[in-house]
């Protein structure tokens, strides 16, 4: 059997890494995952562990692998680090050669309207180039990239694309190992995949708006309630099938491609996607599902991913899955959220290799922020923040404020140009300004707890102003919280892992350093009541201070 070191040092596969030794504990983590006989291997690896190399080494030990991430930015990052890997995006990321003003997502190719670029691709695949139009037409760029990725040694995809492909097309199913990076995002992606959403426009389009308005969201007779939902789904499916048949008839009767025909083809794709979602809903809906009838949409979704859905739509599509992230729920909660049994999971942790002195977390409660106490406590929060920031006049910092409302109130009450914030429209613009500025700015934000690296002098101070509990206005969150002890633990663990993510935005290497202050007593209460919900390496950096 080839060794871990040999796998890394194959220059044709890992050219950016073959000349350098493994970081501390990297090889052990990769070997653990390779040797594990479990279907699911969880690697909890703190920032700086080098997860991407670990994942690629694990993938190199088998002949068929896929590396999944949750965003296009991360796909590009992975292929930048590993130029030997091949990345595939969704159709909308490729320019249509037949109509350069459109993307491949808007492709008008069909059996009634054959695209020469599709034909050129088909001829290449059939090895029939001499009889093709290839000299005149380049092959479809999306189909070519998909073919190249399918044949590639290292495939890099995003979660949503992978789920859609393995369940509806099947081309990427059957991998030996699937690496799932930033896997703490996986449950949300799975829930979204099985969720059925009707916009109000879609309901009117299929003639089901009146029936939707009469649907009950709860009932003491759960069986009758679910039956009414199924009946609504079946009626919607019938209406959708009628529309599909009608659009197909219009398209097939058109002898030339017109703007109207293209519009019909675009509509057909949307209706077919809706049909797929309705069918999935009818196959899985039971008394664990919920209905959220909002003003602008109608949403059916499960309270938790059950094992049947998780197996069918994800776990059955590869022999082994390796889930990697800086933080995970405790094993029972993780199993519950991903439709697994705890016995399905092998677990390995790589603790932080950063010196504790470089990443202190001061738990210094100055306020107790709840929905009921907010107005009384916010005036206490402002001087606590000001005291910390003013005593560090020459450093840049970030304040995690959880909501736009609290962010704007903090900045407004400070009356100091050093503090800046953003809204949903100018988030990236303000973040860029903050990162490029030489001034000791303090960025107050409700939405920078993940995916943002503020290394070195970009940020030396982190303040967590409020416990980042999920909103109880979300019916799923509320239902989970009050459903069981597991739901209560999930709610608290979710908040605590978000705190961990918030604290880690600034310290990005072993030589980096920053202070983190936690000001909300709600966080201290959670840590002291459930310390096991956070990794020991993070707890070891905490210093609990009495309020002034």
- Shared domain for 459 and 409, answered yes or no, is yes
User: Is 62 among the domain residues?
Assistant: yes
- Structural domains of the chain, count: 2
188: CATH: 3.40.50.300
User: Is 383 among the domain residues?
Assistant: yes
- Shared domain for 323 and 392, answered yes or no, is no
Q: At 251, is the pLDDT very low, low, confident or very high (cuts 50, 70, 90)? A: confident
Q: At 15, is the pLDDT very low, low, confident or very high (cuts 50, 70, 90)? A: confident
- Shared domain for 316 and 444, answered yes or no, is no
- Shared domain for 89 and 12, answered yes or no, is yes
**pLDDT of amino acid 252:** 81
- Shared domain for 383 and 485, answered yes or no, is yes
Residue 129 above 60 pLDDT? no
**Nearest-CA neighbor of 348 among 88, 87, 58?**
58
User: Is 416 among the domain residues?
Assistant: yes
- Shared domain for 436 and 536, answered yes or no, is yes
Q: Are 364 and 332 a contacting pair, CB within 8 Å?
A: no
**pLDDT of amino acid 130:** 45
Here the tokens at position 410 are 């903090």
User: Is 211 among the domain residues?
Assistant: no
- Shared domain for 28 and 57, answered yes or no, is yes
Residue 17 above 70 pLDDT? yes
**Nearest-CA neighbor of 431 among 414, 412, 450, 445?**
445
Q: What percent of the chain has pLDDT over 90?
A: 76
Please write the tens of the pLDDT for every residue from 301-359: 999 999 999 999 999 999 999 999 999 999 999 999 999 999 999 999 999 999 999 99
Residue 128 above 80 pLDDT? no
Name the 3-class secondary structure at 253: helix
User: Is 146 among the domain residues?
Assistant: yes
**Interatomic CA distance for residues 292 and 301, integer angstroms:** 8
Residue 19 above 90 pLDDT? no
- Please give the average per-residue pLDDT across 374-395, as a whole number: 96
- Shared domain for 316 and 364, answered yes or no, is no
- Please give the average per-residue pLDDT across 246-253, as a whole number: 86
Residue 76 above 60 pLDDT? yes
* Residues forming a β-bridge with 520: 367
Across the chain, mean pLDDT equals 91
User: Is 511 among the domain residues?
Assistant: yes
Please write the tens of the pLDDT for every residue from 259-277: 787 788 888 889 999 999 9
- Shared domain for 329 and 427, answered yes or no, is no
Taken in order 166, 168, 170, 172, the sign of the CA dihedral is: negative
- Choosing from 350, 368, 384, the residue where a domain stops is 350
**pLDDT of amino acid 363:** 97
Predicted TM-score (pTM) of this structure: 0.90
User: Is 63 among the domain residues?
Assistant: yes
Q: At 510, is the pLDDT very low, low, confident or very high (cuts 50, 70, 90)? A: very high
The CA-based angle 29-32-34, given to 5 degrees, is: 110
**Interatomic CA distance for residues 259 and 251, integer angstroms:** 12
- Give the domain extent around 453: 356-544
444 sits in which H/E element: strand 442-445
**pLDDT of amino acid 134:** 46
Q: Are 52 and 82 a contacting pair, CB within 8 Å?
A: yes
- Choosing from 292, 324, 350, the residue where a domain stops is 350
- Please give the average per-residue pLDDT across 283-301, as a whole number: 94
**pLDDT of amino acid 254:** 75
Please write the tens of the pLDDT for every residue from 49-67: 999 999 999 999 999 999 9
**pLDDT of amino acid 126:** 67
**pLDDT of amino acid 12:** 66
Please write the tens of the pLDDT for every residue from 203-236: 999 999 999 999 999 999 999 999 999 999 999 9
Name the 3-class secondary structure at 400: strand
- Shared domain for 373 and 502, answered yes or no, is yes
- Choosing from 325, 350, 375, the residue where a domain stops is 350
- Shared domain for 396 and 413, answered yes or no, is yes
Instruction: Enumerate helices (H) and strands (E) in the chain, giving the number of each.
Output: 21, 17
User: Is 334 among the domain residues?
Assistant: yes
Residue 404 above 90 pLDDT? yes
Q: Are 132 and 271 a contacting pair, CB within 8 Å?
A: no
**Interatomic CA distance for residues 195 and 435, integer angstroms:** 37
**Interatomic CA distance for residues 384 and 514, integer angstroms:** 18
Please write the tens of the pLDDT for every residue from 440-469: 999 999 999 887 889 999 999 999 999 999
Residue 137 above 80 pLDDT? no
**Interatomic CA distance for residues 382 and 367, integer angstroms:** 10
- Shared domain for 412 and 492, answered yes or no, is yes
């Amino acid at each position: 059997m080839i060794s871990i070191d040999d796998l890394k040092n194959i220059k044709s596969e890992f050219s950016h890494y073959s000349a350098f030794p493994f970081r501390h504990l990297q090889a052990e983590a990769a070997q653990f995952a390779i040797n594990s006989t479990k279907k699911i291997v969880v690697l909890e690896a703190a920032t700086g562990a080098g997860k991407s190399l670990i994942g690629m080494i694990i993938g190199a030990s088998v002949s068929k692998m896929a590396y999944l991430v949750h965003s296009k930015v991360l796909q590009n990052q992975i292929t930048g680090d590993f130029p030997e890997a091949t990345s595939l995006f969704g159709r909308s990321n490729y320019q249509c050669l037949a109509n350069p003003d459109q993307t491949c997502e808007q492709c008008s190719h069909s059996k009634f309207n054959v695209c020469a670029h599709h034909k050129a691709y088909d001829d290449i695949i059939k090895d029939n180039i001499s009889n093709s139009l290839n000299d005149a037409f380049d092959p479809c760029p999306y189909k070519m990239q998909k073919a190249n990725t399918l044949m590639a040694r290292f495939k890099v995809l995003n979660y949503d694309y992978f789920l859609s492909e393995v369940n509806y097309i099947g081309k990427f199913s059957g991998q030996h190992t699937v690496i799932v990076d930033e896997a703490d995002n996986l449950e949300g992606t799975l829930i979204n995949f099985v969720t059925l959403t009707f916009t109000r426009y879609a309901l009117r389009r299929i003639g089901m708006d009146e029936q939707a308005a009469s649907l009950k969201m709860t009932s003491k007779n759960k069986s009758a309630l679910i039956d009414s939902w199924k009946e609504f789904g079946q009626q919607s499916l019938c209406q959708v099938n009628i529309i599909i048949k009608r659009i197909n008839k219009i398209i097939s009767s058109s002898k030339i491609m017109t703007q109207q025909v293209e519009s019909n083809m675009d509509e057909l794709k949307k209706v077919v996607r809706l049909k797929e979602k309705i069918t999935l809903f009818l196959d899985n809906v039971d008394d664990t599902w919920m209905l959220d009838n909002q003003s602008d949409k109608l949403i059916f979704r499960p309270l938790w991913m059950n094992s049947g859905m998780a197996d069918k739509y994800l776990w059955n599509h590869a022999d082994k899955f390796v889930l990697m992230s800086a933080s995970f729920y405790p094993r029972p909660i993780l199993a519950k959220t991903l439709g697994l049994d705890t016995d399905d999971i092998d677990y390995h942790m790589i603790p932080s290799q950063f010196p504790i002195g470089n990443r202190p977390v001061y738990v210094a409660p100055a306020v107790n922020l709840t929905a009921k106490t907010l107005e009384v406590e916010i005036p206490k929060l402002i001087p606590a923040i000001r005291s910390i920031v003013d005593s560090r006049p020459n450093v840049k910092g970030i304040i995690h404020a959880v909501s736009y409302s609290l962010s704007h109130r903090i900045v407004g009450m400070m009356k100091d140009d050093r503090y800046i914030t953003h809204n949903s429209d100018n988030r990236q613009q303000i973040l860029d300004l903050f990162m490029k500025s030489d001034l000791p700015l303090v960025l107050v934000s409700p939405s920078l707890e993940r995916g943002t690296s503020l290394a070195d002098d970009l940020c030396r101070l982190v303040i967590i102003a409020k416990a980042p509990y999920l909103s109880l206005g979300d019916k799923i969150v509320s239902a989970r919280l009050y459903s069981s002890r597991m739901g209560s633990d999930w709610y608290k663990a979710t908040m605590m892992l978000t705190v961990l993510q918030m604290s880690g935005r600034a310290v990005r290497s072993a030589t980096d350093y920053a202070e983190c202050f936690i000001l909300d007593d709600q966080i201290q209460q959670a840590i002291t009541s459930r310390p096991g919900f956070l990794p020991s390496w993070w707890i070891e950096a905490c210093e609990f201070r009495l309020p002034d």
